[in-house]
Structure 1
Amino acid sequence: MASTLNSKKNLRNAVVALLAPLPSIFFYVSFLRHYSSADADSLSPLWTWCYHHPLLLANILFFLNVNLLFWIVGHLQSSHWMIDLYWTAIPVLLVHYFATHPLAELNAWRSRLVILLTWVWSVRLTHSYFRREKWQWGAREDWRFSDMRLQYGKNWWWASFFAIYLSQQVFLMGICLPLYVVHSKDTQLNIWDIVAALVCLTGVTIAYFADTQLHNFVSRNENLKHLGKALVPNLDEGLWRYSRHPNYFGEQLWWWGLVIFAWNLDYRWCFIGALVNSLCLGYVTILVEERMLKQEYRAEAYKEYQKTTSVWVPWFKKSLAGKEKET
């Protein structure tokens, strides 16, 4: 009976997730159809506005389709799980939007390269999401949202709109600005495009292996728990031997790689989005580590891990031998 209910819930959430972006997609396709079938002078005021304000239109569609619609769905389901999933898809939707907008100016090869890289990043992160969720759609919401739900109590119904959705728009639109820049200037490819692509690919690769190693560690502990055996308190192998959060480091490399694309096109202010995102992830890192230290079976091991291992950037371990002799 429980299995049947879970299957129905999984199917329902899959349908909801797949239907969710359709309002924006249909609206944009309608705009492109009207634009291609009419002279620019004969367009209606609505389509003329959409033509002249591509970045503002993207933000309006985000606000209505993601912030407002996802927020309503989240309250109806008592779980704001969908924004976590769509973090992996929105950059793909945005890069295709920027590339196909009638005002786009672009180098075709740079555009194809960035679109391909965005798809590679998205496939990697989407695979990691579903693997972590045991291939279920909306099985649970992010633990940070659940903690905030308890913190805000009766005010959560309105606070969630700002804490989860409006804040996500600021972060996502900010870090995706390089995708807009790439499609707003037509210049020849150069060595910095290659450097940017290599940084992006390095970040995706590190994040993939870090997430895979973490997934294997969590799976082993789940098996040990099922067998009634003691859990391994800490992951200290592979990339995690040299960084406490190599998955975060890889993810940041990806976004800063996109910044290099924009910097190369003289849009140097685009670093602001990646900087804000890095600062936010720094705060998330603190929350994650506090959560680790609250788990009794791993607290002491994790304290030692903090003393010897770099936070983000992979580096050689520090030795505690001198400190142990002093004590």
Structure 2
Amino acid sequence: MPQYSYSQSLKIMLIPYLIIGILWLPLTFMIEKYYDSILISQFLVIQITTAFLFLIGFYFNNTSIYDIYWKVAPMFFVPYWSKGSGNIILPILVYFYCIKQNYTYFRFWPGLSYEDYRILEIKQKSPSPLIYWSIVYLGFEVCPSIMVFFGHLPLYYVFIQQNPCNFAYNFSIIFTILSITIEFIADYQLFPYRSKLLKGDCDIGLWRYSRHPNYFGECMYWWGQYLCQLSFGFENAWTIIGAASIQALFSFYSIPDMENHLLKKRDTYANYKKKVVSSFFPWFRKEK
């Protein structure tokens, strides 16, 4: 793979997103000529732009170009869903969440020299480029784009409904704000270790009580979206599939896979794991 400077990498990363931002509404209006549904139009636009980013990543032989998309797409489709609703709190929270996620990512991103360790492992094990790129596209780009769509889907039904239970609605807003705050604090505390300014296991702040408090805050965010919709009643309770699928992803794949990766990467992690007994929920430590 050619070596790119950080400024070159940044251009290669961000120009496709600028193009997506310019084309989002024209694509939406074009699709809505054939499908009179903003849910269908936004789902299809997400998949079209996902395919576009995949092709860019394929051309540059680097999958990290897609990495920030699931933190960018909601900034387009959630405000579009909210038009005419008069609700500005939820789009602002979504923007705050997405900006926080992208800030955290670019804070450590070294440029196109970076790819997720899981991608690199798949590349090494794949018997052919066709299988490798198929797994990348379907498993690491299409699936996340679908999960993000369904994770935010409860907000669509919030925007088209009226008269929620005020206590439940306000609770869901506070819950969502708390989730973003927890994840932000966890990411901030982890940064010196992730950027290798400090060595060893992050055993400070929230990380003293959970081995993955950032994942805990992340999942809280998606449950906050669902709780918000639930404050209007149980008519659209089926939208739980978004938060539930993301929770399942973290519980049965992301956390176990990261645990195995860290055990291989650091000899000290096994001892840290004994002291911080909870891999998800903040809980009491076990010092001895």
Q: TM-score, normalised by structure 2?
A: 0.89
Indicate the residue corresponding to 1:280 in structure 2.
249
Establish whether residue 56 from structure 1 lines up as the match of residue 40 from structure 2.
Answer: yes
Determine if contact 1:63/1:166 at 8 Å carries over to the other structure: yes
User: 2:21, 2:42 → 1: CA distance?
Assistant: 13
CA displacement at 1:275 relative to structure 2? 0.9
Q: How does 1:1-327 map to 2 (within 5 A)?
A: 5-28=5-28, 30=29, 47-50=32-35, 52-66=36-50, 68-100=51-83, 106=85, 108=86, 111-134=87-110, 136=111, 138-154=112-128, 155-188=131-164, 190-219=166-195, 222-223=196-197, 232-266=199-233, 267-282=236-251, 283-295=253-265, 298-299=266-267, 301-309=268-276, 310-320=278-288
State how far apart, in whole Å, the 1-side matches of 2:287 and 2:32 are: 64
Deviations 1:151-192 (A, max 9, x none): 224121333221122212321112111121122212256111
SS of the counterpart of 2:211? coil
Question: How large is the Cα RMSD of the aligned pairs?
Answer: 2.3
Cα 1:133/1:6, change in 2 over 3 Å: closer
The CA distance in 2 between the partners of 1:218 and 1:193, in whole Å, is: 36
Deviation per CA, 1:211-230: give whole Å up to 9, x if none.
Answer: 011002334xx346xxxxxx
Q: Deviations over 1:49-105 (max 9, x none)?
A: 44x322111111111121x211111110101112211121111212112113xxx6x
- 1:145: how far off? 1.9
Q: What letter corresponds to residue 287 of structure 1 in structure 2?
A: D
**What is the alpha-carbon distance in structure 1 between the residues aligned to residue 219 and residue 76 of structure 2?**
20
Percentage identity across aligned positions?
24
Q: For residues 61 and 26 of structure 1, what CA distance do their matches in structure 2 show?
A: 10
Structure with max Cα Rg: 1
Distance of 1:118 and 1:274 partners within structure 2: 15
Decide whether the 8 Å contact of 1:132 with 1:215 is kept in 2.
yes
Amino acid aligned to 1:25: L
SS at match of 1:63: helix
CA distance in 1 between partners of 2:248 and 2:144 (Å): 14
- For residues 259-311 of structure 1, give each alpha carbon's deviation from its aligned partner in whole angstroms, at most 9, with x where no partner exists: 1111112222222211110110121111111011112xx32x21122223111
Report the count of equivalent residues.
281
Q: TM-score, normalised by structure 1?
A: 0.79
8 Å CA contact 2:180, 2:217 repeated in 1? yes
